[in-house]
Amino acid sequence: MKNGRGRHWRIKTMWRNLSKYSPLFVVLILSCVAFLLRNIYSLEKLDCKASLYQLQQSITAPFRTRSPGQLERNWSNCSSHGLVLSPEEAVEQEHLLKSIAWPEPHLPVSSLHHSSSPSSSSFSILPLENDREWRVGDHLEVLVHMRDFRDRPKQHGGDFLLARLHSPELGAGVVGHVVDHENGLYSVLFWLPWAGKAHVEINLVHPSEAVQVLKRLREDNPDRVYFKSQFRFGPFSETTICNLCLSTQLPSCNYTNHHTGEPWFCYKPKLLSCNSRVSHSKAGYLKHLITSREELFFQRLVNLKVPIPSSGLDSITVLKETEEKPNGAANLDIFKPAGFYYKEVWRPTNDVLLRQFDDTAAVTRCLEGKVLRIYGDSTVRQWFEYLTTALPDLKEFNLNSPKNVGPFLSVDSVHNILIEYRCHGPPIRFSSVATNQLRYVADELEGVEGGSNTVVVLSIWSHFSTFPVEVYIRRLRSIRAAVLRLLDRAPGTLVVLRTANPQDLDTEVSLYNSDWFSLQLDAILRGMFYGLDVVLVDAWEMTLAHHLPHALHPPPPIIKTMIDFLLSHICPEDTSAFP
Ligand SMILES: *[C@@H]1O[C@H](CO)[C@@H](O)[C@H](O)[C@H]1NC(C)=O
Ligand SMILES: *[C@@H]1O[C@H](CO)[C@@H](O)[C@H](O)[C@H]1NC(C)=O
Ligand SMILES: *[C@@H]1O[C@H](CO)[C@@H](O)[C@H](O)[C@H]1NC(C)=O
């Protein structure tokens, strides 16, 4: 009894003492309940001995396993995110979109039988009577007849063809210009720059039916490549999905660029704040986006980058120009390629003479006292790597940057050369970029001093292929404005744009990175920078005209061509040195 009463008394006193702290307890208990409720899913898996590490892992787990496709999203909601076009911008955008309009069949084609078949199709060299004589500077016209797998002529346009004229014996190649007559017939025009044998090569990259699928994916699944960010605070970390556009059903963090207004969002982490984002990376690719029937339109060796045979001759012999009738550049108005290969060397058709920088000392002499600022995707990181590897005195400065991501810096302190590479801002599918290194090109350009010793190189295309074209236009608009400001405050700055290039395609790659997407973006780039004081390195033609297979990252001989072209603009041939 006594004991019982004593215990009762002790408990009472304890309770009295504790009750002083009751408000604190209530707060503590409520926050625990709130925490439990918010993390019921995570804590289910938690055992009593859970370490902080396990806690952190289990909090991250639901984000890792949830497919972003499970969340309903409506991309048209995003087009309004801060996007208010001025009347001039709206007119330009409309004009640009019109310029890349692609012909469509009148009725959708859903069966392989009725789709374009390269092996049933054929090309013929015009005129058909074989008494025509071709001379250097003339144009060659080729007519392509597209047929379906049942051998019936196609009645509509929209097939994606790429054409090349080449001569392995002469190390020569030049691209052709394809004109879609929208009735199953296509003309291909070639300018004839060399004397000798010339073989015609026409490839069907995608039948029109496949292009329709790509168009639909671009409209309906712009999030088929998705991204993630890691958030970290002390020992806690969380990972959430990020994109240009997210479902409004979940709370998100807004990382829209204050300066350019370009949108970027991540789902809000459960525990951590939006300010604790530490990195950005590619999260994955949505799968099963097309039906098994549609997959048949993307078959290697069948209808994906497959040559179209000739119905007769597939080559011609080009004669030298005659004295009386020089053709020369006059005919280039019809179709003027950016250049052509001859004896394995790129010959630009504009006024600049391409110098060969075979000797690394010549490259160093050309770059002496220069700063090269290279911004963009991995296809221009190749330039940084090429120069850093080639030049003996140019040493990469160790910034402890992640491999392939950067930023990278190379310095030749003897010759006063500095080369910098930095990737462009999101969307970028790199492995993991620290948030504090995630910069927009337009913002970087604002910090460039510029002047005649500065060369700025830009390459922005590949990471935009899965998004609506408006997203790319918006990005280029802000970069173009920054380029113009740079040229205004520091005239003499050389600004170089590297264009897109065709690449190796299979079914999977086509859905995310098809040359068709690249071609469309490339046309936008050329349109938006047309007439401005920038140099275009035509990676498209340099890759397409070359005999090496297409690759997202073109092989060294093609990179050398691009670098020689770049250096020829930095250091044009000085004829006064050779009296
Ligand atoms: C799109 O926006 C509308 C209104 O702003 C909203 O009601 C709707 O839920 C949004 N849809 C998605 C999928 O986020
Ligand atoms: C997306 O939202 C817009 C308006 O916010 C609506 O007109 C459109 O039909 C929606 N699309 C889909 C696929 O839900
Ligand atoms: C995101 O932030 C930008 C400005 O920083 C603002 O204009 C925009 O409306 C915000 N978007 C959303 C969806 O909150």
pLDDT tens-place string over residues 286-301? 999 999 999 999 999 9
Run of H or E including 163: strand 160-167
When pLDDT is cut at 50, 70 and 90, the band that residue 85 belongs to is: confident
Helix pair angle (360-367, 378-390), 10° resolution: 110
Q: Is 317 in the pocket of ligand 2 (CB under 6 A)?
A: no
Instruction: Indicate if the pLDDT at residue 28 is higher than 60.
Output: no
State the average pLDDT over residues 29-35. 52
Q: What is the Å distance from ligand 2's center to 519 Cα?
A: 28
> Which sequence spans correspond to the domains of the chain?
116-213+297-333
Question: What are the distances in angstroms from CA 185 to CA 100, 146, 153, 316?
Answer: 19, 6, 9, 21
Dihedrals phi, psi of 453, to nearest 5 degrees: -100, 5
Q: What is the Å distance from ligand 1's center to 249 Cα?
A: 8
pLDDT tens-place string over residues 505-553? 999 999 999 999 999 999 999 999 999 999 999 999 999 999 999 999 9
Q: Are 483 and 534 in contact (CB under 8 A)?
A: yes
Question: What are the distances in angstroms from CA 414 to CA 372, 393, 418?
Answer: 16, 7, 11
Q: What is the Å distance from ligand 1's center to 292 Cα?
A: 31
Q: What is the Å distance from ligand 3's center to 254 Cα?
A: 6
* Ligand 3 atom 14, closest CA: 254
Q: Cα 553–179–146 angle (5° rounding)?
A: 90
Residues in the chain: 579
Structure tokens at 219: 């409209």
Q: What is the three-class DSSP state of 145?
A: strand
- Percentage of the chain with pLDDT > 70? 83
Task: Check residue 500 and report its DSSP letter.
Answer: -
Q: What is the Å distance from ligand 1's center to 63 Cα?
A: 22
Q: Are 204 and 159 in contact (CB under 8 A)?
A: yes
Which DSSP string do the residues of 204-237 spell out, in sequence order? EEE-HHHHHHHHHHHHH-TTSEEEEEEEEETTEE
Q: Is 73 in the pocket of ligand 1 (CB under 6 A)?
A: yes
Query: SS in 3 state form for 368-415?
Result: CCCEEEEEECHHHHHHHHHHHHHCCCCEEECCCCCCCCCCEEEEECCC
pLDDT tens-place string over residues 342-401? 999 999 998 778 999 999 999 999 999 999 999 999 999 999 999 999 999 999 999 999
Ligand 3 atom closest to 258 (CA): 5
* Ligand 1 atom 11, closest CA: 74
Q: Find residue 196's DSSP bridge partners.
A: 318
Run of H or E including 575: none
Q: What is the three-class DSSP state of 1?
A: coil
When pLDDT is cut at 50, 70 and 90, the band that residue 51 belongs to is: very low
Q: What is the Å distance from ligand 1's center to 248 Cα?
A: 6
- 58 vs 126 pLDDT, higher one: 126
Query: What mean pLDDT value characterizes the chain?
Result: 87
* Ligand 1 atom 4, closest CA: 77
| Residue-level pLDDT at 306 | 98
Collect all residues with Cβ–Cβ distance below 8 Å to 529 and sequence separation of at least 6.
476, 480, 497, 536
- Test site for ligand 2: of 75, 76, 77, most ligand atoms within 8 A of the Cβ: 76
- 45 vs 375 pLDDT, higher one: 375
- Cα distance between residue 210 and residue 192, in whole Å: 32
pLDDT tens-place string over residues 251-278? 999 999 999 989 899 999 999 999 999 9
State the average pLDDT over residues 402-425. 97
Structure tokens at 441: 């090109």
| Residue-level pLDDT at 339 | 97
- Cα distance between residue 379 and residue 401, in whole Å: 18
| Residue-level pLDDT at 331 | 54
Instruction: Indicate if the pLDDT at residue 80 is higher than 60.
Output: no
Q: What is the Å distance from ligand 2's center to 78 Cα?
A: 11
* Ligand 2 atom 12, closest CA: 74
- Closest ligand by atom to 256 CA: 3
- Test site for ligand 1: of 70, 72, 74, most ligand atoms within 8 A of the Cβ: 74
* Ligand 1 atom 9, closest CA: 248
Tell me the longest C-alpha to C-alpha distance in the chain. Answer: 131
Is the domain defined by 116-213+297-333 classed in CATH 3.40.50.460?
no
Rg (alpha carbons) of the chain, rounded to whole number: 30
pLDDT tens-place string over residues 62-77? 344 344 444 445 566 6
Q: Tell which residue, 196, 205, 161, 203, has the closest CA to residue 315.
A: 196
| Residue-level pLDDT at 81 | 54
Q: Tell which residue, 112, 485, 517, 65, has the closest CA to residue 284.
A: 65
Q: Are 199 and 165 in contact (CB under 8 A)?
A: yes
Q: Are 244 and 255 in contact (CB under 8 A)?
A: no
* Ligand 1 atom 1, closest CA: 77
Which DSSP string do the residues of 81-129 spell out, in sequence order? TT----HHHHHHHHHHHHHT-----SS---SGGGSEEEEEEEEEEESSS
Instruction: Indicate if the pLDDT at residue 29 is higher than 90.
Output: no
| Residue-level pLDDT at 335 | 86
| Residue-level pLDDT at 83 | 65
pLDDT tens-place string over residues 442-484? 999 999 999 999 999 999 999 999 999 999 999 999 999 999 9
| Residue-level pLDDT at 129 | 75
Please provide the distance, in angstroms rounded to a whole number, between the alpha carbons at the two ends of the chain.
122
β-sheet with 185-191: strand ranges across: 116-126, 139-148, 185-191, 177-180
State the average pLDDT over residues 139-154. 97
Question: What are the distances in angstroms from CA 526 to CA 57, 238, 536, 540, 565?
Answer: 47, 41, 8, 12, 18
Structure tokens at 500: 């897109």
CA dihedral (265, 266, 269, 274) in degrees, to 10, reads -40
- Cα distance between residue 51 and residue 322, in whole Å: 85
- 366 vs 5 pLDDT, higher one: 366
Instruction: Indicate if the pLDDT at residue 98 is higher than 60.
Output: yes
